[in-house]
Amino acid sequence: MKVRDIASLLSADVVGNKDTQITGVGTIEKAKSDELTFVANKKYEKFLPTTNAGCIIVDSAVDIEKYKDKTFIICKDAYFCFAQVLRTLFAFKQKEPMISKNASIKESAKIDTTCRIEDFVFIDDNVTIGKNTTIMPFVYIGENTTIGENCIIYPSVTIRENSVIGNDVIIHSGSVIGSDGFGYAQTKENNHIKIPQVGNVVIEDGVEIGSNVSIDRAALDSTIIKKGAKIDNLVQIAHNVEIGENTLVIAQTGISGSTKIGKNVILAGQTGIAGHINIADGVIITAKSGVGSNVKKAGIYSGIPIYEHSKWLRNSVVVTKLGEMYKKIKELEKEIEELKKI
């Protein structure tokens, strides 16, 4: 695309050569003369004098007056605009519709003629798959499952029985949707008796699930991932959890059973959440934090157990000085003992 075409796509202004041909993208340090890059963080502005990029997307706040030899696209949010370009240039393109002869599909399954079902897929009884959905090799889809339109299911995904998956859902390799919830009853002899998990998983429209994610089916009712939520790799979501709209769950987070998470929440990496609690809309939990009780209002929280992030930062500074403080206390105790003797 020419720079003018990219700017038109973004409804943005161009400063420089509008006819520069762009054939790829790159980082600001390594981009070539036919590649597009962006600057969304001030610390990367230092590379503007030396970058070879054919065009640079920048925020309107960036001072470009001293770079007369370069071409810029000016917009309000450079990062978002760059993402829009990538979505246009590198959007997933479904291959021709087909159903592989090497797939195993029960007669009662209903698969739209626009779907692509690749080798060694297993589709059980009464499965329904909507328009333009791609199911890649070695995917298992259990009975009575519904999958909507324009979904992409990558290789080696397991979707257990009775799952409901909406439109425009992406599930990456190795993930398991609808595995049994971790539910056991303990006997007087301390044996653990498995409680059948008879609910299901509901994944609403526009959800993306990373690789090697496990989402357990509900003991009763449904485990629900609401529309627009994004789940990173290696996340565990237990039975009867509800994750709100547009919430982000980052890698290695574990969410215990029956927890309700609001919309627009961010759970950073390795967050641990206890069961049967509620987290309000707009909450941000920072990495490696532990949530053991309800979070009732929006804000940023850190620590184990969590508390306000600003207080956690101040306390973290104190922690680094505990050794010195301990030494000082010992010295003061010694002085007090000597004063008592006097």
Q: Which residues are catalytic?
A: 239
Strand partners of residue 231: 209, 249
The backbone torsions φ and ψ at residue 81, rounded to the nearest 5 degrees and listed phi first, read -65, -40
Q: Which among 25, 22, 51, 48 is positioned nearest to 34, based on CA atoms?
A: 22
Q: Three-class SS string for 145-198?
A: CEECCCCEECCCCEECCCCEECCCCEECCCCEEEECCCCEEECCCCCEEECCCC
| CA separation for the pair 196, 183 (Å, rounded) | 8
294 Cβ contact partners less than 8 Å away, ≥ 6 residues apart: 277, 278, 279
**Residue written as token pair 């403080």:** 325
SS3 call for 287: coil
In this structure, what token pair is assigned to residue 339? 């004063």
Helix ranges (H only) for the chain are: 3-10, 78-89, 309-319, 322-341
In this structure, what token pair is assigned to residue 281? 């809309």
Instruction: Yes or no: say if 177 and 171 are a contact pair by the CB < 8 Å rule.
Output: yes
The backbone torsions φ and ψ at residue 330, rounded to the nearest 5 degrees and listed phi first, read -60, -40
Strand partners of residue 215: 177, 237
Q: State the Cα torsion 201-202-205-210 to the nearest 10°.
A: -20
| CA separation for the pair 80, 125 (Å, rounded) | 42
